[in-house]
Structure 1
């Protein structure tokens, strides 16, 4: 029965069954598609009206997802729950997007030509997921994003300097916020914030310096900072998230400063990962205070020279991965390393891509 509801179609598929609700289009280019005018033929048939989801499992070439493609799907398929227009080659999203009242997820990621979103997108009050990451030409977000009252997941690339006027700070149900390649962004928002359910913040490739209202993100549990420069003032240093469970820092020259911000934090960390940070010269002395730590990854941090003695007390630690960390890698060698006795209690240890100790306990 499932096969009746789900279908893998091509851009030149002529017709679909009226029972089909979910379509996957694995076509990646127009090379083997003849007479394509920007719209799959099956969309012109009445049987497409009841479609619930359309997605592309692979990256598509330029010219596959056109403005005509987007406009036709939006006008013909009023009952869509998921619409995947990633890698689109249109500059504007049709304002008729607001007609998709039941839409739950909209993927516009990697649409390199997309310059603006219509204000009507804010009328999608059932929308749970909005992905506009990798839209490098997107000038700004609509000013009434706060009307997306159901939104749980938001991933953004924008040319804006501030998101203050977008209203995203009032999205009470938002659980995940991602920022990628927002080169001009300096201020997330200031003042009143109602992101009381935001659990995860992911910031990548933002030149900054970017000011973040850490003190307002009272529910934040996971923080991922990659290739970014943050504006670290005395105020936001003292308001750094206190209840983090997952911390990932990647390619940061501020790594030591960021770690000092956590010195007075509650002892809640369960996962601690640092990648590609030559400026990391010492594992923080406070790390052993986080007795719930189950995972530590130290990858390509060549200036680490020893493991703190306190690591021995981390009885909940199940996995330790050390890769190309200079002197530290040598000191943690199986049985012969000077720091082996400090880490020997850890069930799973990977050292320079070799599993030197790997058990299920």
Structure 2
């Protein structure tokens, strides 16, 4: 089900009965601020996308009730400042995409999303750090932190992500050093960053990254 560019404040009451709904996409509903009670009843939901809903300031704790949710995308929601701790109950989640939001930190409980394969935080410009618990995401293939311009460091134990194959970190201009464990990313195949980052951050580590086949030099921001 797609709800696009509608002047609604919350989901209609009929949503309380859609217990078999598997996909829901709400886009460009600028007045929509969320309906926690309705969402928690969508127990069969596997895909949830909230994009361009400018009034959403929080994700309800009850999202943890969506036990079958596999794909969650929240983007262009600039009032969203934090995520609930109860997200760690989403054990089936494989894709978590939170782009262009106003988050300054992530809950440590993200490390309990043990089936997560894709984590995207691009253009979360207030984000200054990632939780150390990210080391527990042993199925993670893709980590996207493009345009996280205030991110100052990567987690010390990021090298424990043994399946990480794609790292996107274009224009992370506050990031001036990498943890030593980065050299343990044995499956890393593609790195996206600027020329200065390759030269100053990654060059000393390249001999240890045997599977790194592509270094994508995007437009230098320095």
Rg: which structure is higher?
1
1:239 shift after superposition: 4.2
Q: Which residue of 1 aligns with 2:37?
A: 119
1:201-246 per-residue CA deviation (whole Å, 9 max, x = no partner) reads 111221223443322323222101122133637xx32345532111
Give the Cα–Cα distance (whole angstroms) in 1 for the partners of residues 196 and 187 of structure 2.
26
1:235-281 per-residue CA deviation (whole Å, 9 max, x = no partner) reads x3234553211111122103443x44653323111212215x75654
Give the Cα–Cα distance (whole angstroms) in 1 for the partners of residues 90 and 11 of structure 2.
22
Counterparts in 2 of 1:335-346, with a 5 A limit? none
Give the Cα–Cα distance (whole angstroms) in 2 for the partners of residues 261 and 134 of structure 1.
38
Give 5+ residue unaligned stretches, structure 2. none
SS in 1 for 2:217: strand
Size of the alignment, in residue pairs? 215
Q: Which residue of 1 aligns with 2:16?
A: 98
Give the Cα–Cα distance (whole angstroms) in 2 for the partners of residues 124 and 162 of structure 1.
22
Give the Cα–Cα distance (whole angstroms) in 1 for the partners of residues 56 and 72 of structure 2.
15
Give the Cα–Cα distance (whole angstroms) in 1 for the partners of residues 135 and 31 of structure 2.
36
1:116 shift after superposition: 2.0
TM-score for the superposition, normalised by structure 2 = 0.83
Give the Cα–Cα distance (whole angstroms) in 1 for the partners of residues 73 and 212 of structure 2.
28
Counterparts in 2 of 1:195-344, with a 5 A limit? 195-213=113-131, 214-228=134-148, 229-230=150-151, 232=153, 236-239=155-158, 242-243=161-162, 244-257=164-177, 259-260=178-179, 262-275=181-194, 281-282=199-200, 283-301=202-220
Give the Cα–Cα distance (whole angstroms) in 2 for the partners of residues 206 and 142 of structure 1.
20
Give the Cα–Cα distance (whole angstroms) in 1 for the partners of residues 204 and 5 of structure 2.
45
1:173 shift after superposition: 0.6
SS in 2 for 1:264: helix
1:17-71 per-residue CA deviation (whole Å, 9 max, x = no partner) reads xxxxxxxxxxxxxxxxxxxxxxxxxxxxxxxxxxxxxxxxxxxxxxxxxxxxxxx
Give the Cα–Cα distance (whole angstroms) in 2 for the partners of residues 89 and 294 of structure 1.
47
Structure 1 pair 119–208 and aligned structure 2 pair: CA distance change class (3 A): same
Q: Which residue of 2 aligns with 1:28?
A: none
Give the Cα–Cα distance (whole angstroms) in 2 for the partners of residues 271 and 260 of structure 1.
18
Give 5+ residue unaligned stretches, structure 1. 1-82, 304-361
Give the Cα–Cα distance (whole angstroms) in 1 for the partners of residues 50 and 128 of structure 2.
19
Structure 1 pair 225–90 and aligned structure 2 pair: CA distance change class (3 A): same
TM-score for the superposition, normalised by structure 1 = 0.53
Give the Cα–Cα distance (whole angstroms) in 1 for the partners of residues 128 and 9 of structure 2.
27
Note the aligned Cα RMSD (angstroms). Answer: 2.6
Give the Cα–Cα distance (whole angstroms) in 2 for the partners of residues 95 and 240 of structure 1.
47
Structure 1 pair 230–101 and aligned structure 2 pair: CA distance change class (3 A): same
Q: Tell me: higher relative CO, structure 1 or 2? Use CA pairs within 8 A at least 6 residues apart.
A: 2
1:68-115 per-residue CA deviation (whole Å, 9 max, x = no partner) reads xxxxxxxxxxxxxxx011333322222431322221111113322221
1:170 partnered with 2:89: yes
Q: Say if 2:152 and 2:176, in contact at 8 Å, map to a contact too.
A: no
Q: Say if 2:71 and 2:96, in contact at 8 Å, map to a contact too.
A: yes
